[in-house]
Amino acid sequence: MAKNRLVSLILFICLVLPGSAMAGSTQSLVLINTGGDWGKCQRVTFADTFEKKTGIKIIDGPFLDDGQIKAAVETSVYDVDVVFPTPSLALEASGKKYLEPIDFSRVNKEELLPGTYTKYAVALDLFAWAFGFRTDAKAVPTQWADFFDAKKFPGKRGLVSWDFATVMIGALIADGVSPDKLVPLDIDRALAKLDTIKKDIVWFGTGSDGQNLLNTGEVSYIQLYANRITTSRDKGEPVDIIWDGQIIQADYLGIPKGSPNVTAAQQLIAHMTSKEINGKFSFCQPGAPSNTKSEVNPAMAKDLPTSHLDKLHVISSSPEIAGYIEQHLEEITNRFNNWKAEK
């Protein structure tokens, strides 16, 4: 009888009292899922395999921008366990306030591409801005510097209207600045280089807008998301891609600071960035792995940014570049917008 009472007492402590092992266990995690084909691929590649491995259920959650992540931490309302912070939020100044440090005893950073992780976030996948061109253009380019040679390569150029960092970095590396010498950003030099093609620039706001400009021939050359260019090419449009001068960016993973499910969330991030799992995303979407040891889809390999690292490239979401831009954001933005407005 006493033995039965003791068993009952132990069960009561585990199931009811706070701080018990059972109460602290994680039965489910909420992971941001942006939906569409990308979200379906994320689900199959990362969520389903983690559930099978651990028994922890992964619930698809809504996207949270940096402001919403900050609000969640400040109010201690944790509706999402693993979020997608921007490089700015993942830097030391903001990261220490709003994100948990990544457990690098679980995540093997030695396997990650340099520049794709910070103390507070780690890249899940990589994408790039690349050089797209019309194959029926008057002159066919072979390198990124050709984008700025309007005499040899006449025609309209497409540039994104809001990502001033990508545009300026592109101008600087075309002008001969080494990727490891980009910061401090030489704004005067970047704008002077952009002046050489200013009358030929067609500004666009979204990836689909840029893709349409290229497909219709409204521009002959464009700096655009690589997957937009390759998708058009594969659909039979007279366009192609040049990887020289690509600007690589990362989709980061992070955990809101103070999350009650931090241990399981760290386990999920380690799973998603592991060499066994990370590259499998490329079997259903053109997302390049951050883990350099991951196997990628052979049919997709030629269209992944990480397959062309032997060519001129910049990882603009690296802590060094993203940190500098964050610190000088107002100045860079004002200079860029003022230059755009000038006739």
pLDDT reported for residue 21: 31
**Averaged pLDDT for residues 291-304:** 96
Clarify whether residues 120 and 49 are in a common domain.
Answer: yes
- Statement: residue 123 has pLDDT above 90: yes
**Averaged pLDDT for residues 211-217:** 98
Give the count of domains, the chain.
2
Clarify whether residues 136 and 209 are in a common domain.
Answer: yes
Residue 310, phi-psi category: left (phi > 0), alpha (psi -120 to 50), beta (remainder)? alpha
Contact present, 66 and 35 (Cβ < 8 Å): no
Clarify whether residues 117 and 131 are in a common domain.
Answer: no
Q: Using CB atoms within 10 A of its CB, is residue 322 exposed (0-12), middle (13-18) or buried (19+)?
A: buried
The pLDDT tens digits for 158-167 are 999 999 999 9
11 found inside a domain = no
pLDDT reported for residue 6: 41
Share of the chain above pLDDT 70, in %: 93
pTM: 0.88
The pLDDT tens digits for 248-272 are 999 999 999 999 999 999 999 999 9
- Mean pLDDT, all residues of the chain: 92
pLDDT reported for residue 25: 63
228 found inside a domain = yes
Beta strand 201-204 with 313-315 is unpaired
**Averaged pLDDT for residues 314-336:** 94
Q: How confident is the model at residue 343 (pLDDT cuts 50, 70, 90)?
A: confident
Contact present, 272 and 46 (Cβ < 8 Å): yes
pLDDT reported for residue 259: 96
Domain that holds residue 293: 26-126+251-303
Contact present, 314 and 79 (Cβ < 8 Å): no
> Nearest-CA neighbor of 340 among 168, 149, 147, 156?
168
Clarify whether residues 207 and 327 are in a common domain.
Answer: yes
Please list the alpha-helical segments (H only) found in 196-288.
Answer: 207-216, 226-234, 262-272
The pLDDT tens digits for 39-73 are 999 999 999 999 999 999 999 999 999 999 999 99
- Statement: residue 5 has pLDDT above 80: no
Here the tokens at position 153 are 């390569």
314 found inside a domain = yes
Instruction: Kindly report the number of other CB atoms within 10 A of residue 292's CB atom.
Output: 16
User: What's 60's DSSP letter?
Assistant: E
pLDDT reported for residue 26: 74
